[in-house]
């Protein structure tokens, strides 16, 4: 062992203990600081592949790191292209109607949905490391853009300014996403737990569906709020404005979409049926309107879409007060949410296909694609789950499928936009509703309830917050509950009594192992969390209560009195100065009660700090054991063989 060896003051009463608890060898401050930083920000050691390489090789590896296309393009084969072509065309057929729908949801010109399916996929194809992510706009971020920017500017009264603010928010979202990746702060996204996302997505889907009532019922006026109460009030206050033509069309197409989805789900081979259904609906709907002139009977249509590729929009970004604050806020919230969805989708499919995704690198890719997008008339894009799933099912091999989709969208932009003139908005609403219904994952919520009630609370908190207040409120509620849970874990650690597993020297929680035997005269407590300021008062009180209860119990049964309190420190990962004070006070309290405090198996960090703070000298190093078994053995040995003056110096009260 190193320098940190214990020097035991007397070897005579150490016969029982066979092993020593080591203090880890001291490390210079700079070294340990560097290690901590590395573990915190570079757990995946991204520079590992650069070791022992020539400078030119390093340069190539570095380029490949930021542009993964340089890695896979040279190995790209015709076989791959065939698969990617099918996948790309399939997702394009989904991207076009969805893009138009979501742009409407964001209160932006419908053409923006097509623009946003052209440039960002190209950027992602170069920089992204997922092979299955299909880039596009998403419903939740679109809705958020509409509601958050809508507080500053009315989209109907000032559409140009609103559009420019949307570009600016996208720009900020991209900057945020890329910086999170570059600064290796990707773990912030991890604070959106699975439970949060289930509840949040279901809530957002509910809200988006409610918004579609406007299109389905053919209403002209609608509330700008997203909460369920405002929406219902708005819908039911104008019952006589409902248009049955619109409603029939909407319900009909929704039924069609749901049936195809159900069919494809039952027979995964026919995934393309549900993938093509939206485009089919758009074509059928447009034809129907064109033939029946339904646009004159209350069925709203998209109208003119400008022909041509994305215009430049860099000059449109607004960096002046008072708008910049709103854009910044919108960018941050939509950016984080879009990022969480993109990363989660990328990871899930990577898991399926057994390849690795570097979260921080993905963030840089998604961020860059939004920064570039915001300069080319695109609004916020990410990797939506539905579109990526279709991409995956269609058998995509590489990010090339995104390029194919972009080309298909480009051709649409150049030549086909006039065809959308007669597309009824109600069909778009049906497409959105059918996509959103898939996001309400009630089975996952039931699973959460069964496995972890607290996660269920987080989920339902997010749902209720989103549906009854607003998307931001729901998110804040869910994250707050999640963080409170983490804090509660530390602030209220579990302490449990250990007992001896029969025929062994193993000691375990008596609640988990009801057959474990109490040891006479010894109270063995396990602490399940680091001892920090947040729990040191609690632990002090809780441990005294354990001692009180144990003494009461022993008194009631008339057995031997309590002599030793052993703290099993195995699960105590760390300790701070408040924790050390707590141990010092605990030692005083136990001494006053004629008890001896014994520690079992303190870990490296804890030993280091106990040593530095002189607590080791204070408690006496011979009262620290490597295992609970050895501690109990030593206690028994001292109880029965040693002279009281020697082994119990605290016994002088």
How far apart are alpha carbons 224 and 91 in whole angstroms?
31
Which one of 32-40, 55-63, 64-72, 430-438 is the stretch in contact with a second copy (CB under 8 A)?
A: 32-40
Least Cβ distance, residue 61 to a second copy (angstroms): 17
How far apart are alpha carbons 305 and 418 in whole angstroms?
6
Q: Which of 195, 207, 426, 565 binds a second copy (CB under 8 A)?
A: 195
How far apart are alpha carbons 27 and 2 in whole angstroms?
11
Q: Which of 219, 318, 332, 571 binds a second copy (CB under 8 A)?
A: 571
Q: Which is nearer to a second copy, 338 or 372 (CB)?
A: 338
Of residues 267, 219, 226, 205, the one with CA closest to residue 247: 219
Q: How many CA atoms lie within 13 A of 632 on its CB side?
A: 22
Q: Which of 22, 70, 73, 437 binds a second copy (CB under 8 A)?
A: 22
Which one of 374-382, 423-431, 482-490, 635-643 is the stretch in contact with a second copy (CB under 8 A)?
A: 482-490
Question: Which positions ≥6 away from 352 have C-beta within 8 Å?
Answer: 132, 392
Neighbours of 126 (CB within 10 A): 18
Which one of 18-26, 135-143, 154-162, 272-280 is the stretch in contact with a second copy (CB under 8 A)?
A: 18-26
Contact call for residue 2 and a second copy (CB under 8 A): yes
Of residues 490, 445, 483, 447, the one with CA closest to residue 464: 445
Q: Which is nearer to a second copy, 139 or 481 (CB)?
A: 481
Q: Which is nearer to a second copy, 238 or 578 (CB)?
A: 578
Looking at the DSSP bridge assignments, the partners of residue 498 are 509
Question: Which positions ≥6 away from 355 have C-beta within 8 Å?
Answer: 131
Least Cβ distance, residue 271 to a second copy (angstroms): 23
Q: Which is nearer to a second copy, 316 or 358 (CB)?
A: 358
| Residues 356-415 within binding reach of a second copy (CB under 8 A) | 356, 359
Contact call for residue 190 and a second copy (CB under 8 A): yes
How far apart are alpha carbons 498 and 105 in whole angstroms?
58
Q: Give me the 575-594 binding string for a second copy, x by CB under 8 A, dash otherwise.
A: -xxx-xx---x--x---x--
Q: Which of 7, 10, 12, 29 binds a second copy (CB under 8 A)?
A: 29
Question: Which positions ≥6 away from 405 have C-beta within 8 Å?
Answer: 88, 89, 91, 92, 95, 117, 121, 134, 135
Contact call for residue 488 and a second copy (CB under 8 A): yes
Contact call for residue 476 and a second copy (CB under 8 A): no
The Cα-based distances of 471 to 22, 113, 199, 334, 474 in angstroms read 52, 22, 11, 10, 5
Least Cβ distance, residue 483 to a second copy (angstroms): 7
Q: Give me the 520-549 binding string for a second copy, x by CB under 8 A, dash otherwise.
A: --------xxx-xxxxxxx--xx-xx----
Contact call for residue 199 and a second copy (CB under 8 A): no
CB 613 within 8 A of CB 577: yes
Least Cβ distance, residue 542 to a second copy (angstroms): 5
Q: Which of 34, 194, 307, 559 binds a second copy (CB under 8 A)?
A: 194
CB 181 within 8 A of CB 199: no
Least Cβ distance, residue 293 to a second copy (angstroms): 53
Token digits of residue 15: 């016969």
526 CB-contact burial (10 Å; exposed 0-12 / middle 13-18 / buried 19+)? buried
Q: Give me the 337-356 binding string for a second copy, x by CB under 8 A, dash otherwise.
A: ----------x---x--x-x
Q: Give me the 254-293 binding string for a second copy, x by CB under 8 A, dash otherwise.
A: ----------------------------------------
Contact call for residue 49 and a second copy (CB under 8 A): no
Contact call for residue 651 and a second copy (CB under 8 A): no
Least Cβ distance, residue 455 to a second copy (angstroms): 5
CB 155 within 8 A of CB 337: no
DSSP tag of 501? P
CB 316 within 8 A of CB 163: yes
Of residues 623, 127, 197, 136, the one with CA closest to residue 363: 127
Residue given tokens 């490949």 in the structure block: 64
Least Cβ distance, residue 473 to a second copy (angstroms): 20
Q: What are phi and psi of 500, to 5 degrees?
A: -85, 125
Contact call for residue 491 and a second copy (CB under 8 A): yes
Q: How many residues bind a second copy (CB under 8 A)?
A: 97
| Residues 596-615 within binding reach of a second copy (CB under 8 A) | 601, 603-605, 607, 609, 612-613
């Amino acid at each position: 062992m190193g320098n940190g060896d214990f020097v035991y003051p007397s070897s005579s009463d150490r016969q029982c203990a066979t092993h020593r608890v080591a203090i880890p060898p001291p490390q210079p401050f700079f070294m340990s600081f560097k290690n901590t930083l590395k573990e915190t920000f570079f757990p995946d050691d991204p520079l590992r592949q650069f070791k022992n390489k020539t400078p030119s090789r390093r340069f190539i590896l570095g380029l490949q790191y930021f542009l993964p296309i340089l890695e896979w393009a040279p190995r790209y084969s015709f076989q791959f292209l065939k698969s990617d072509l099918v996948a790309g065309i399939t997702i394009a057929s989904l991207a076009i109607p969805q893009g138009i729908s979501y742009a409407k949801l964001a209160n932006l010109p419908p053409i923006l949905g097509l623009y946003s399916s052209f440039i960002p996929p190209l950027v992602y194809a170069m920089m992204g490391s997922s092979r299955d992510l299909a880039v596009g706009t998403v419903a939740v971020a679109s809705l958020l853009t509409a509601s958050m920017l809508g507080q500053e500017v009315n989209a109907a009264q000032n559409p140009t300014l609103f559009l420019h603010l949307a570009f600016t928010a996208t720009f900020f979202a991209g900057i945020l996403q890329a910086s999170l990746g570059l600064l290796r702060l990707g773990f912030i996204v991890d604070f959106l737990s699975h439970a949060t996302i289930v509840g949040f997505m279901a809530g957002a889907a509910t809200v988006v569906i409610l918004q579609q009532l406007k299109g389905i019922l053919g209403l002209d006026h609608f509330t700008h709020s997203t909460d369920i109460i405002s929406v219902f009030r708005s819908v039911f206050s104008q019952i006589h404005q409902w248009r049955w033509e619109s409603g029939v069309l909407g319900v009909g197409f929704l039924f069609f979409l749901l049936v195809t989805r159900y069919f494809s789900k039952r027979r995964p081979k026919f995934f393309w049926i549900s993938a093509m259904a939206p485009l089919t609906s758009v074509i059928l709907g447009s034809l129907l309107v064109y033939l029946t002139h339904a646009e004159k009977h209350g069925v709203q249509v998209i109208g003119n879409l400008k022909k041509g590729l994305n215009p430049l929009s860099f000059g449109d970004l607004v960096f002046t007060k008072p708008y910049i604050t709103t854009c910044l806020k919108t960018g941050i919230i939509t950016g984080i949410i879009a990022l969480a969805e993109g990363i989660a989708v990328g990871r899930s499919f990577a898991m399926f296909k057994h390849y690795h995704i570097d979260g921080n690198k993905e963030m840089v890719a998604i961020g860059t694609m939004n920064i570039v997008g915001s300069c080319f008339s695109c609004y916020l894009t990410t990797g939506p789950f539905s579109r990526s799933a279709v991409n995956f099912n269609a058998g995509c091999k590489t990010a090339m499928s995104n390029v194919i989709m972009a080309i298909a969208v480009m051709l649409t932009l150049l030549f086909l936009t006039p065809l959308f003139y007669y597309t009824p908005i109600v069909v778009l609403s049906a497409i959105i509703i059918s996509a959103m219904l898939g996001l309400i994952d009630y089975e996952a919520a039931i699973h959460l309830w069964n496995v972890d009630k607290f996660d269920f609370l987080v989920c339902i908190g997010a749902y209720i917050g989103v549906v009854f207040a607003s998307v931001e409120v729901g998110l804040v509620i869910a994250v707050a509950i999640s963080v409170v849970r983490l804090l509660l874990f530390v602030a209220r650690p579990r302490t449990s009594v250990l007992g001896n597993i029969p025929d062994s020297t193993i000691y375990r929680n008596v609640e988990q192992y009801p057959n474990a035997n109490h040891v006479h005269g010894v109270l063995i407590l396990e602490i399940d969390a680091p001892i920090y300021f947040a729990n040191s008062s609690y632990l002090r009180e809780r441990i005294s209560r354990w001692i009180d209860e144990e003494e009461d119990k022993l008194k009631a049964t008339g057995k031997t009195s309590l002599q030793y309190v052993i703290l099993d420190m195995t699960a105590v990962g760390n300790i701070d100065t408040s924790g050390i004070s707590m141990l010092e006070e605990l030692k005083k309290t136990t001494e006053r009660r004629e008890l001896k405090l014994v520690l079992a198996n303190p870990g490296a960090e804890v030993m280091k700090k106990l040593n530095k703070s002189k607590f080791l000298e204070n408690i006496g190093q011979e009262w620290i054991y490597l295992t609970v078994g050895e501690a109990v053995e030593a206690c028994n040995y001292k109880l029965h063989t040693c002279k009281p003056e020697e082994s119990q110096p605290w016994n002088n009260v």
